[in-house]
Amino acid sequence: MHETRYSVTTTAYRLEMLLIRSTEGHKDAYRLFLQELTLYLRVKLRKQIRVKDSDVDDLIQEVLIAVHIGLDTFTPGVPVTAWISAISRHKLVDHLRAVTRWNDLHTRFRDNKHVASNSAIDVSNAKRDIASLLKTLPKHQSVAIVHTKLFGRSTTETASATGLTESAVKVGVHRGLKNLVARTRGLKRDN
């Protein structure tokens, strides 16, 4: 028990010293602060929630961005871990709200028999219609949509599998979906 307290105290002290040094203009100190903060957050968030590694990584990125943006709100003398905990708590709540909304939306669709049909004919028709619509898109857009939206792959996985950059995957999905919406409404788009 004593070792754990010492470790947490040491981590908090080290994070605070690195942050103070970085605010004094030491770029290496800021880089080290972010590296150690990432490790600290990974342990803390894994203890707080039981989610996929990609969700933890996304949360860590959100917290790091919020810490960077909110550097001017840090007050030396206030424990840096308390400041970081407040930021990570807000990001965690945002994440849980988003996950809950996503799950609620998809649960409603699965449970609504009028929306989702189990008929093999309906499934076959839906697959045919989706394939037809995807063929109307530029290849990079359709590939990005198939991998991310139909196969459920992450942007990183899709980029690795297709040879596109992560940015190109995101843009391809966004523009492709806009094109599909426009086509289903009878308009024509091609970005």
Residues in the chain: 191
Residue 146 CA to residue 133 CA, distance in Å, equals 12
Residue 170: inside a domain, yes or no?
yes
The set of residues, in sequence order, having a beta carbon less than 8 Å from that of 122 and lying 6+ positions away, is: none
The set of residues, in sequence order, having a beta carbon less than 8 Å from that of 19 and lying 6+ positions away, is: 29, 30, 33, 74, 80
Q: How much is the pLDDT for 103?
A: 61
Q: How much is the pLDDT for 26?
A: 87
Residues 80 and 35 in one domain: yes
Residues 126 and 85 in one domain: no
Residue 64 CA to residue 112 CA, distance in Å, equals 40
Residues 21 and 69 in one domain: yes
Residue 135: inside a domain, yes or no?
yes
pTM: 0.47
CATH number at residue 26: 1.10.1740.10
Q: Please, are residues 92 and 59 in contact by the beta-carbon 8 Å criterion? A: yes
Boundary-marking domain end, from 76, 91, 106: 91
Q: How much is the pLDDT for 6?
A: 35
CATH number at residue 152: 1.10.10.10
Residue ranges making up the domain that contains 126: 119-184
pLDDT tens, N- to C-terminus, the chain (191 residues): 333 333 556 888 899 899 989 888 888 999 999 999 999 998 888 877 766 666 788 889 999 998 998 888 887 777 888 888 888 888 888 877 876 766 666 555 555 554 444 556 666 777 787 888 888 899 999 999 889 888 888 999 999 999 999 999 999 999 988 888 887 776 555 55
Q: How much is the pLDDT for 115?
A: 46
> SS3 for 95-130, per residue?
HHHHHHHHHHHHHHHHHCCCCCCCCHHHHHHHHHHH
Give the up-direction half-sphere exposure of residue 67: CA atoms within 13 A in the CB hemisphere: 27
CA distances from 100 to 41, 95, 105 (A): 22, 9, 8
When divided into structural domains, the chain yields a total of 2
Q: What single-letter amino acid sits at 28? A: D
Residues 153 and 86 in one domain: no
Residues 11 and 56 in one domain: yes
